[in-house]
Amino acid sequence: MNRLPFRRESPPPPPPSPTDRVNDMLQNAIERIPYLHQLRIFWRDLESERDWWPILIPVLAWIGWRTYRNERRKLQLEDQNVRADNR
Protein backbone atom coordinates (compact mmCIF):
# COMPACT_ATOMS: atom_id res chain seq x y z
CA MET A 1 0.00 0.00 0.00
CA ASN A 2 2.46 2.57 -1.18
CA ARG A 3 -0.20 4.53 -3.02
CA LEU A 4 -1.39 7.68 -1.48
CA PRO A 5 -5.08 8.40 -1.99
CA PHE A 6 -4.57 12.03 -2.95
CA ARG A 7 -1.79 11.49 -5.49
CA ARG A 8 -2.79 11.14 -9.13
CA GLU A 9 -0.90 8.98 -11.56
CA SER A 10 0.28 10.70 -14.69
CA PRO A 11 -1.44 9.56 -17.86
CA PRO A 12 0.60 7.42 -20.25
CA PRO A 13 2.38 9.32 -23.01
CA PRO A 14 0.51 9.50 -26.30
CA PRO A 15 1.63 7.10 -29.01
CA PRO A 16 4.16 8.56 -31.44
CA SER A 17 2.75 10.09 -34.57
CA PRO A 18 3.64 8.60 -37.99
CA THR A 19 5.98 11.55 -38.58
CA ASP A 20 7.78 10.85 -35.30
CA ARG A 21 8.13 7.18 -36.22
CA VAL A 22 9.56 8.03 -39.66
CA ASN A 23 11.98 10.52 -38.07
CA ASP A 24 13.11 7.85 -35.59
CA MET A 25 13.63 5.34 -38.40
CA LEU A 26 15.65 7.83 -40.43
CA GLN A 27 17.75 8.79 -37.41
CA ASN A 28 18.50 5.10 -36.73
CA ALA A 29 19.46 4.57 -40.38
CA ILE A 30 21.74 7.61 -40.34
CA GLU A 31 23.42 6.49 -37.12
CA ARG A 32 24.30 3.17 -38.76
CA ILE A 33 26.45 4.89 -41.40
CA PRO A 34 30.07 3.89 -40.77
CA TYR A 35 32.39 6.67 -39.71
CA LEU A 36 29.55 9.16 -39.24
CA HIS A 37 30.95 10.30 -35.92
CA GLN A 38 34.37 10.93 -37.46
CA LEU A 39 32.79 12.79 -40.38
CA ARG A 40 30.91 15.06 -37.98
CA ILE A 41 34.10 15.79 -36.03
CA PHE A 42 35.97 16.50 -39.26
CA TRP A 43 33.21 18.84 -40.47
CA ARG A 44 33.12 20.68 -37.13
CA ASP A 45 36.91 21.13 -37.23
CA LEU A 46 36.74 22.29 -40.83
CA GLU A 47 34.01 24.81 -39.94
CA SER A 48 36.22 26.23 -37.20
CA GLU A 49 38.90 26.95 -39.82
CA ARG A 50 36.55 28.80 -42.17
CA ASP A 51 38.88 31.79 -42.48
CA TRP A 52 41.55 29.48 -43.88
CA TRP A 53 39.30 27.78 -46.45
CA PRO A 54 40.81 29.57 -49.49
CA ILE A 55 44.14 27.90 -48.65
CA LEU A 56 42.99 24.81 -46.77
CA ILE A 57 40.50 23.37 -49.29
CA PRO A 58 42.91 23.39 -52.27
CA VAL A 59 45.68 21.89 -50.12
CA LEU A 60 43.38 19.11 -48.88
CA ALA A 61 42.19 18.45 -52.43
CA TRP A 62 45.78 18.28 -53.69
CA ILE A 63 46.83 15.91 -50.89
CA GLY A 64 43.81 13.69 -51.57
CA TRP A 65 44.48 13.62 -55.31
CA ARG A 66 48.19 12.88 -54.81
CA THR A 67 47.44 10.08 -52.33
CA TYR A 68 44.86 8.57 -54.69
CA ARG A 69 47.29 8.64 -57.62
CA ASN A 70 50.11 7.06 -55.56
CA GLU A 71 47.85 4.26 -54.30
CA ARG A 72 46.50 3.70 -57.80
CA ARG A 73 50.05 3.53 -59.19
CA LYS A 74 51.01 0.92 -56.56
CA LEU A 75 47.97 -1.21 -57.42
CA GLN A 76 48.76 -1.04 -61.13
CA LEU A 77 52.35 -2.10 -60.48
CA GLU A 78 51.19 -5.00 -58.31
CA ASP A 79 48.72 -6.03 -61.01
CA GLN A 80 51.45 -5.93 -63.66
CA ASN A 81 53.74 -8.03 -61.44
CA VAL A 82 51.03 -10.64 -60.89
CA ARG A 83 50.33 -10.84 -64.62
CA ALA A 84 54.06 -11.18 -65.38
CA ASP A 85 54.40 -13.98 -62.80
CA ASN A 86 51.45 -15.88 -64.29
CA ARG A 87 53.03 -15.99 -67.75
pLDDT digits (tens, 9 = 90+) for 4-48: 667 778 888 899 899 999 999 998 888 888 888 888 898 999 999
Specify whether the CB–CB gap between 31 and 23 falls below 8 A: no
pTM of the predicted protein model: 0.51
31 vs 53, more confident: 53
What is the C-alpha to C-alpha distance for residues 6 and 50, in angstroms, rounded to an integer? 59
Domain boundaries, the chain: 20-86
Cα angle vertex 81, ends 77, 83, to 5°? 115
Specify whether the CB–CB gap between 56 and 49 falls below 8 A: yes
User: Whose CA is closest to 46, among 59, 34, 56?
Assistant: 56
